[in-house]
Homo-oligomer: A and B are copies of this chain.
Amino acid sequence: MSERIRVGVFGSDGKVGQAIVDAVEAADDLEFTVGVDKGDNRSALVESGTQVVVDFTHPSVVMDNLEFLVGNGIHAVVGTTGFDDERLAQVRSWLEASPGTGVLIAPNFAIGAVLSMRFAAAAARFYDSVEVIELHHPHKADAPSGTAYRTARMIAEARAEAGSKPMPDATSEELDGARGADVDGVRVHSVRVAGLVAHQEVLLGTQGETLTIRHDSIDRTSFAPGVLLGVREIGSRPGLTVGLDDLLDL
C-alpha cells in the first residue's frame, strides 16, 4: 500500500473546518496532521511534515496563509472566497518561485454541482429547449441561486457557440412571472419550499425525448468529497488550478 498523504487544516475549529478534519480522518489514504486556528503557530504544519493543507477560512487571512504554504512547498486546497484576478496573479507569482507546489482554488466543491453544470453545457447544443429549475429552502435570499445563474450562462454560451436557434416558445398569454427569469435566453425557475435544502434540475428537450440532469444536496457536508478529491490530486498538479472542473478529467 502507498503511503498516506499528510493533510493539515486551517480553521479546523470552525464548523466547516471540523467537517473537513472528520472527512480526512475517515479516509484510508489520508492522515490528519495538525489543525491551525487563529493564534496557533503555523510552523506546526512544517514540523509535522504536512503535504497538503485545506483552507476554508476568510478572505482577510487566506492570502497570508497561501504565501506561507507556497513558501514552504506545501500544496493547498482552498475553498475560501474572494479571489479576484489580482489575487490569482499574486498566487501565480508565488508559485513561480516554488515550481513543484500546487494550489487549487475552487468556488464550489460539490462534485455533483460541478458535474451537473458541465453535463448540461455539453448536452445543450443537441436540444431545442433547455430550462433550469432550482429548488431551495425558503430562507434563501437570492432567486435564482448563484449556481443556477452560472448554469444558465454556461448553457447560453454553449448554444451560442453551436449556433443553436432560439428556443421554441409560443406563449402569448402569460401571467406575470409564470415563465421564470430570463438569463441570456435560458429560463430559470426558483422554487422555495420548506423541507428542501439545495436542488437543481436542468431539463433539455427535443422531438420525442427529454434529458434531465438533477443535483440534490441535502447536507452541508456535501463539499467534503470534492475537497478530498482536491487533496489527492493537487500534489501531481503543480501551479495554480482554478475550479474543480480540471480535476474531473471529463
Query: For chain A residues 145-201, which have a beta carbon within 8 Å of chain B?
Result: 149, 167-183, 187-197
Asked if A214 CB lies within 8 Å of chain B CBs, one says yes
Q: Which residues of B contact A129 (CB under 8 A)?
A: 138, 192-195
Question: Do residues A133 and B189 form an inter-chain contact, with CB atoms below 8 A?
Answer: yes
Within the complex, which residue of B170, B179, B225 is in contact with A177, where a contact is CB–CB below 8 Å?
B179
Q: Is the CB of A111 within 8 A of B206?
A: yes
Copies of this chain per assembly? 4
Interface size class of A (residues with CB under 8 A): 35 or more
Contact among B142, B177, B195, B204 for A173, CB-based, below 8 A: B142
Residues of B within 8 A of A208 (CB): 195, 217-222, 224
Q: Are A214 and B216 in contact (CB under 8 A)?
A: no
Closest Cβ of chain B to A25, distance in Å, is 14
Nearest-neighbor residue (CB-CB) of A130 within chain B: B193
Which one of B194, B203, B206, B214 contacts A128 once the chains associate, using CB atoms below 8 Å?
Answer: B194
A213 CB within 8 Å of chain B: yes
**Contact of A212 with B by CB under 8 A:** yes
Q: How far, in whole Å, are A143 and B192 apart by their CA atoms in the complex?
A: 20
Q: Are A178 and B175 in contact (CB under 8 A)?
A: no
If A127-B194, A183-B175, A210-B195 touch, whether A169 touches B203 (CB-CB below 8 Å) is no
Note all chain B residues with C-beta closer than 8 A to A197.
218
Interface pairs (28), CB distance under 8 Å: A23-B207, A111-B126, A112-B206, A112-B211, A115-B123, A128-B195, A140-B170, A142-B171, A144-B178, A174-B190, A179-B190, A180-B189, A180-B191, A193-B210, A194-B206, A195-B205, A195-B206, A206-B222, A206-B225, A207-B225, A208-B217, A208-B220, A208-B222, A209-B215, A210-B216, A211-B213, A212-B214, A214-B214
